[in-house]
Amino acid sequence: MITLDKVSKRFPGQDGFAVTDLSLQVDDGELVVLVGPSGCGKTTTMRMINRLIEPTSGRIAVDGRDVMEQDPVQLRRGIGYVIQSVGLMPHRTVGENIATVPRLVGWDERRIRERIQELVEMFALDGGLIGRYPSELSGGQRQRVGVARALAADPPVMLMDEPFAAVDPIVRERLQEQFLDIQARLRKTIVFVTHDIDEAIKLADRIAILNVGGVLEQYARPEELLRAPASDFVRDFVGPEPGLKRLSLMSVADIDVEAGPVVHPDAAADEAVAAMEPFGLDWATVLDPEGRVLGWVDRADVTGRARVGDADVKRFAAYVTSGSSLRSALDAIVSNRTQVAVVVDEQERYRGILSLEAVAKEIIT
């Protein structure tokens, strides 16, 4: 647990405060993102936790122990640290870079070797990279090595300053997903700094939005931040489409699906029409005997046909699964001519449908 209690920082020779009277608590296993415009003191705040910068006033404690009462070198060895430019040592191989903190704290070589192997696998890096120098790696590989290095001695607390900012958006997205997977397993206590609100929304358990001068505007879960911004500043910073952003935080599994009209290819035309009526719709999903989705037919298609299968069964433009976000469900709704998202399981078996009303209900407050 990390506790900041009325922490302020004023740099010598500067008029204003870089951080003003900031109180914040990061619980064990929680990923807190500090976000805000440049000059909001987010990096300064992070760097005060491992004493790279010392507060002017206030108290910072890691696991209940005041950082100012600890030896800064020992303190830092117990806290993982990743920066934007990664800061890998160019004259050390990937393996040696990862081994930095374990060597400092005196692990034996065998344990270090095993740990390097474990981390290389955890981050899906090619084992052949262990003996390479940082200059021989791609940007994405370097960032992963940087995070792996910070985790090497298994510190309970991690500080990360824009660790994914230096790579292109596609690589960044992949690194974020991988990092979330790893964090879900390791449950580290993390303070993560970014200027990118979308990254914050995607990664954070809680977000602290800071204004210029290190003034805390709001400290809340991403969903709450989007639903109930505490100030105009937060509203502006969160940016356009807060509703869509909230939908991206929720998954199809979070809401109930409707049964929807279904019909088998062997059914008669009247049966199809009878299936549609209770839902007030004039189309039905066509399922094979195993329950897999074949497509859909409307009333006009089946009229005059002996069986549904004789009609022209049209395919849906998009499907969603229970793991899909509500934002992609919304996309499926507006993409399908039937105006619903069809929910299927991993084997493409039919689970039900989501209507625009059902999704919209989640973001109307």
Partner 1 sequence: MGSPFDVAWIAAHLSDILGKLIEHIELTLLAVGIGFVIAFPVGIYCFRHRKVYPPVTWVTGILYTIPSLAFFVLLIPALGISIVNVEVALVSYTLLILIRNVVAGLEGVSEDTKDAAKGMGLTRGQILWKVEVPLALPVIVAGIRIALVTTIGLVTVSALLGYGGLGFFILDGFGNYFATPVLVGSVLSALLAVVADWGMLALERWLTPWRGGGRLQVST
Name the strand (E) or helix (H) holding 93: none
How far apart, in whole angstroms, are the C-alpha atoms of residue 14 and residue 8? 13
> Which DSSP string do the residues of 146-173 spell out, in sequence order?
HHHHHHTT--SEEEEESTTTTS-HHHHH
Is 90 or 280 the residue whose CB approaches partner 1 more closely?
Answer: 90
DSSP string computed for 210-259: EETTTEEEEEE-HHHHHHS-SSHHHHHHH-S-HHHHHHHHSBGGGSPPB-
Site for partner 1 in 17-36 (CB under 8 A): none
Report how far residue 208's alpha carbon sits from residue 134's, in angstroms, rounded to the nearest whole number.
33
> Is the Cβ of residue 101 or residue 272 nearer to partner 1 in the bound state?
101
Interface with partner 1 includes 109 (CB under 8 A)? no
**Of the residues 57, 85, 138, 335, which one makes contact with partner 1 according to CB under 8 A:** 85
Shortest Cβ 146–partner 1 spacing (Å): 8
Where in 137-196 is the site for partner 1 (CB under 8 A)? Answer: 146, 149-150, 159
Residues 36-65 that bind partner 1 (CB under 8 A): 50, 52
Q: How far is the CB of 100 from partner 1 (least distance, A)?
A: 6
What are the tokens at 209?
Answer: 């939005």
DSSP code for 290: T
Q: Which is nearer to partner 1, 101 or 276 (CB)?
A: 101
Residue position matching structure tokens 């939005």: 209
Q: Is 74 in the site for partner 1 (CB under 8 A)?
A: yes
Asked if 284 touches partner 1 (CB under 8 A), the answer is no
Nearer to partner 1, 63 or 254 (CB): 63
What DSSP designation does 58 have? E
Cβ(142)–Cβ(88) below 8 Å: yes
Per DSSP bridges, beta strands 157-161 and 189-194 are parallel
Percent of the chain that is helix, strand, coil (3-state, to 5) = 40, 25, 35
Toward partner 1, which CB reaches closer, 162 or 298? 162
Stretch that binds partner 1, among 76-84, 244-252, 284-292, 337-345 (CB under 8 A): 76-84
- Of 135, 184, 232, 347, the residue at the interface with partner 1 (CB under 8 A) is 135
Beta bridge partners of 325: 251
Q: Which is nearer to partner 1, 41 or 261 (CB)?
A: 41
Minimum Å distance from CB 137 to partner 1?
Answer: 12
Q: Total residues contacting partner 1 (rule CB under 8 A)?
A: 30
Q: Which lies closer to partner 1 via its Cβ, residue 81 or residue 296?
A: 81
DSSP annotation string for 62-73: ETTEEGGGS-HH
Kindly list the residues in this chain that would bind partner 1 in the complex (CB under 8 A).
50, 52, 73-78, 81, 83-92, 100-101, 104, 133-136, 146, 149-150, 159
